Amino acid sequence: MEIYTEIGPCRDAAVRARSSGRKVALVPTMGALHEGHLALLRAARQMADYVAVSIFVNPKQFAPGEDFNAYPRTLDDDLAKCRAAGVDVVFAPGVEAMYGQGPLTTVHVGRISEGLCGRFRPGHFDGVATVVAKLFNILAADVAIFGEKDYQQLVVIRWMVRDLNIPIEIVAHATVREPDGLAISSRNRYLSPSERRQAASLSAALFAAVDGVRGGQKDAHVLTDKIREELTVAGPVQIEYVEVVDLETLAPVAIVDRPARICLAVRIGACRLIDNVAVDAPDFRG
């Protein structure tokens, strides 16, 4: 497994791989790798014969007061996991290597990035889009894999690739969950034992809403009000949003008469958690 911290040598490695006829898959990460990331690596290995992983805690996607300094950094363990997963190359740059004296260019994906988490994390998706665009240019992969847990991020990246004509396929991977349903996240380690038990209410409420749609409930407000009630009953929680949105535009959906996504973000204790589920009732038409 090759490991690079500078852009030039890493780009050269990816070019060599593609020039030799190998299909390159990229899994962008911020490190602190967990089973969710490992599932992405396994998927990458199945669809390509050269797997690249980036490990970079991107300061541009953290708003002032967020957990950039506290975000877990476990590079040695991450590299061991990548090696065990059969990764071919790891790009683990520092901030100076990625941004130098500070970029004058920022990638902004309008409208899609402004609702949901965008209302509560100003500048976050500009930071995501900018760093992902840079990674696509550095590693020149054929395909990149992203988890559906960060659904808004996935949609933002899809629109960026479409609008800027970046020649890369974006593949979504289903959210990986703990046995009790909690979406696996690097930030789950911030939860106390009691908060961790309470956090299982997020997926429970979401899946109950899916059952409600399948049972005939199509009013988005009824569905989201029920989710809010279940979250509140589970324990002290600060709810940022619970919304039913269109799959591609993320526009709010009032009546669930087509496939949609139910998304939420909450704070339990000091930990901000997000989750989402697909809504696709058997009687949908079109």
Q: What is the tens place of the pLDDT at every residue in 102-155?
A: 888 999 999 999 999 999 999 999 999 999 999 999 999 999 999 999 999 999
Q: What mean pLDDT value characterizes the chain?
A: 96
pLDDT tens digits, residue range 230-263?
999 999 999 999 999 999 999 999 999 999 999 9
- Domains in the chain, CATH or no CATH each: 2-173 (3.40.50.620), 186-276 (3.30.1300.10)
Query: What's the pTM?
Result: 0.95
- Phi, psi of 62, deg, nearest 5: -110, 125
Q: Can you list the positions of beta strands (E) in the chain?
A: 2-4, 24-29, 50-55, 89-91, 143-147, 169-173, 238-246, 260-268, 271-279
Percent of the chain's residues with pLDDT above 90: 94
pLDDT tens digits, residue range 12-65?
999 999 999 999 999 999 999 999 999 999 999 999 999 999 999 999 999 888
Euclidean distance between the first and final Cα of the chain, in Å? 46
37 is catalytic: yes
In this prediction, residues 263-269 reach a mean pLDDT of 98
Rounded (10°) angle between helices 220-234 and 193-214? 160
pLDDT of residue 162 exceeding 50, the answer is: yes
**Considering 34, 37, 124, 173, which one is annotated as catalytic?**
37
In this prediction, residues 164-182 reach a mean pLDDT of 97
